[in-house]
Structure 1
């Protein structure tokens, strides 16, 4: 989780050479899982409440790079002024 890589990059880094059909299947499964991710309702409420009071909020996650899209989707849609930075 210390490398900022997509699935293809991870495979290359590990020296794994799956077929394109295998990579496509894994990518499809990954996107379905990412689409199913949700935030706890209290996390959204607290984030918005703090921002309304002028508190700068940071969201940290130990999920790997592809999951960052879910964090962006969940928190930028419900609160204003959120900047998501990939610390990769």
Structure 2
């Protein structure tokens, strides 16, 4: 089998790790429930597919946050973003792929404030960016994978998806037609196509 022409990375848990996790969106949703707003099955998807700052997104969901809670929300998001770092294997692997002339993409489910990390920590590399709040879909929705295939111009069979979430980053991509590797950084790698380090994907390019 020929080497992939495109490698698609999940972002959080794959390339980026949190030093601090405050779960600020979850706290607001818990508060809203206490105020009488019942949770909706689409809440998480809505948060990750609506563009805008947190207060704007919540307002469009019918949740008006008190000023003190909004200040806390913003502060906790900023604290999380400040704590973000790359996993140790990321830069060496990206440099190697870059030297091979391999195209790279990022495909991530996330709220808009967390998208800044791509420019903050990965500005040395060029990525096709498929971010849920920009494209209006979330993994494992088929439209998310179609967006990547369309904008990259690379056939799914010549693309490899790499991520740490089984359904969104491995099973969904495989069903669509991508090659895929499930990244398990901690714990046994008991199945084929499961890797414990990003460097393991480099064997596909020898």
Q: Which TM bucket (shorter chain)?
A: 0.7 to 0.9
Could you say what the CA RMSD is over the residues aligned between the two structures, in angstroms? 1.9
TM-score (norm 2): 0.37
Unaligned runs of 5+ in 1: none
TM-score (norm 1): 0.79
How far residue 71 of structure 1 moved from its aligned partner, in angstroms, is: 2.4
Once residues 58 and 86 of structure 1 are traced to their aligned partners in structure 2, the CA distance between those partners, rounded to angstroms, is 7
Identify which of 12, 17, 28 aligns with 2:75: 28
- What corresponds to 2:177 in structure 1? none
Residues 11-50 of structure 1: matches in 2 within 5 Å?
Answer: 11-50=58-97
Once residues 21 and 84 of structure 1 are traced to their aligned partners in structure 2, the CA distance between those partners, rounded to angstroms, is 37
Contact 1:6 1:65 in 2 (8 A): yes
Contact 2:81 2:114 in 1 (8 A): yes
Q: Which has the higher helix share?
A: 1
Paired residue total: 85
Is it true that 1:62 corresponds to 2:117 in the alignment? no
- Name the larger-Rg structure: 2
Once residues 22 and 33 of structure 1 are traced to their aligned partners in structure 2, the CA distance between those partners, rounded to angstroms, is 16
